[in-house]
């Protein structure tokens, strides 16, 4: 394993002229103050992009979502150009590998200061071969909200990629207790939403379907690439409301995300689902071939 690389971002927001704008720090050393609001309140935003053969995949889309998350949390606007430059420098400073990831974070800063804390972190990716080929068993778990929660209660921050992700880890532990590896979250009124760290993509005949992002879920950067792949295969790809019944009757289901890419679902709530290995393999080959 190569050493993780940490870059501090000193000028993370629009209008900040701190120079230099970023610089390398020691990833093995403590970096965050105990009164930083990321630690005390999970109050900040993040993105994780995959880095394949040196290409930072969908960086522009990740940065665009990062800026949207900042707005949803009333954080200052990240300076996308500074972030892009810092992220490229961090990746360049890390020992090359086939698959790596870069996680970048901006917090609300140390309480009372109003100055965000910001960094980018690069490390080798886990080996997801097994998940991409044999697939994963998932369970459905209620997220506790109606599907229209983002419109009715925007203060609940659904649709923002925040650091308050304890529930995302908790649902995975619940999945493990039920003998599964991942989760599809559902709304209380019967709609399919997303995985804790992935988008849900269904194939129903010649149609590809994913839940629309007006349901307080994240606009998946990988899901967008998955749509491009299926459209190039001659399938129709659509956003919409997806019911739990449709999920149960789908011909195929994938959880797609940045670093794991497309993981075919081989069982839902204990009911086996066929995996199209050949199609999934071509999908993952296409996803891994993405450049920026």
How many other C-beta atoms can be found within 10 angstroms of the C-beta atom of residue 282? 13
Which one of residues 119, 227, 229, 230 is an interface residue with a second copy (CB under 8 A)?
Answer: 119
Query: 38-42: long-range contacts (C-beta < 8 A, 24 or more apart)?
Result: 38/105, 38/107, 38/108, 38/117, 38/163, 40/111, 41/108, 41/164, 42/162, 42/163, 42/164, 42/165, 42/166
**Distance in angstroms (rounded) separating the CA atoms of residues 206 and 279:** 13
Output the smallest distance, CB 69 to a second copy, in A. Answer: 10
Output the smallest distance, CB 163 to a second copy, in A. Answer: 5
CA dihedral 257, 261, 266, 271 (to 10 degrees): 0
**Distance in angstroms (rounded) separating the CA atoms of residues 132 and 261:** 8
Which one of residues 24, 152, 249, 285 is an interface residue with a second copy (CB under 8 A)?
Answer: 152
Which letter does DSSP use for residue 236 in this model?
E
Contact by Cβ (8 Å): 135, 255? no
Which one of residues 14, 39, 84, 244 is an interface residue with a second copy (CB under 8 A)?
Answer: 39
Considering only 9-17, 24-32, 207-215, 239-247, which stretch makes contact with a second copy by CB under 8 A?
Answer: 24-32
- The reply on whether position 156 binds a second copy by CB under 8 A is yes
Strand partners, 256: 199, 262
Residue whose C-alpha is closest to residue 49's, from 36, 63, 35: 63
**Distance in angstroms (rounded) separating the CA atoms of residues 59 and 50:** 9
State the binding string over 188-207 for a second copy (x if CB under 8 A, else -). x-------------------
Considering only 40-48, 57-65, 236-244, 253-261, which stretch makes contact with a second copy by CB under 8 A?
Answer: 40-48
Output the smallest distance, CB 85 to a second copy, in A. Answer: 19
- The reply on whether position 83 binds a second copy by CB under 8 A is no
State the binding string over 245-274 for a second copy (x if CB under 8 A, else -). ------------------------------
* Rg of the chain (C-alpha set): 19
Strands 182-186 and 192-194 come out as antiparallel
Angle of helix 221-232 versus helix 59-72 axis, rounded to 10: 140
Output the smallest distance, CB 78 to a second copy, in A. Answer: 16
Output the smallest distance, CB 164 to a second copy, in A. Answer: 4
Which one of residues 22, 83, 101, 121 is an interface residue with a second copy (CB under 8 A)?
Answer: 121
Which one of residues 36, 79, 131, 194 is an interface residue with a second copy (CB under 8 A)?
Answer: 36
- The reply on whether position 171 binds a second copy by CB under 8 A is yes
- The reply on whether position 38 binds a second copy by CB under 8 A is yes
Chain residues that interact with a second copy, rule: CB under 8 A: 4, 6, 27-44, 46, 73-74, 103, 105, 107-108, 119, 121, 141-146, 149, 152-157, 162-171, 173-174, 188
């Amino acid at each position: 394993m190569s050493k993780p690389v940490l870059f501090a971002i000193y000028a993370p927001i629009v209008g900040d002229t701190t120079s230099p704008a970023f610089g390398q720090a020691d990833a093995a050393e403590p970096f965050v103050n105990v009164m930083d609001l990321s630690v005390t309140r999970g109050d900040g935003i993040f993105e994780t992009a995959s880095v394949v053969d040196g290409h930072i995949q969908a960086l522009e889309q990740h940065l665009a979502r990062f800026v949207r998350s900042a707005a949803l949390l009333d954080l200052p606007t990240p300076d996308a150009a500074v972030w892009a430059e810092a992220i490229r420098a961090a990746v360049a400073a890390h020992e090359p590998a086939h698959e790596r990831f870069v996680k970048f974070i901006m917090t609300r800063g140390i309480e009372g200061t109003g100055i965000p804390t910001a960094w980018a972190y690069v490390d080798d990716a886990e080996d997801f071969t097994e998940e991409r080929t044999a697939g994963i068993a998932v369970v459905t778990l209620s997220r506790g909200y109606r599907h229209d929660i983002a419109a009715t209660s925007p203060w609940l921050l659904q649709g923002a990629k925040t650091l308050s992700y304890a529930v995302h880890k908790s649902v995975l532990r619940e999945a493990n207790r039920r003998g599964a590896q991942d989760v599809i979250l559902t709304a209380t009124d019967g709609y399919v939403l997303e995985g804790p760290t992935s988008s849900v993509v269904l194939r129903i005949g010649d149609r590809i379907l994913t839940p629309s992002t007006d349901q307080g879920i994240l606009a998946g950067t990988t899901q967008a690439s998955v749509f491009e792949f299926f459209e190039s295969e001659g399938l129709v790809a659509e956003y919409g409301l997806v019911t739990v019944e449709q999920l149960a009757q789908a011909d195929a289901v994938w959880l797609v995300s940045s670093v794991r890419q497309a993981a075919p679902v081989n069982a839902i709530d204990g009911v086996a689902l066929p995996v199209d290995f050949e199609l999934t393999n071509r999908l993952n080959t296409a996803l891994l071939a993405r450049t920026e």
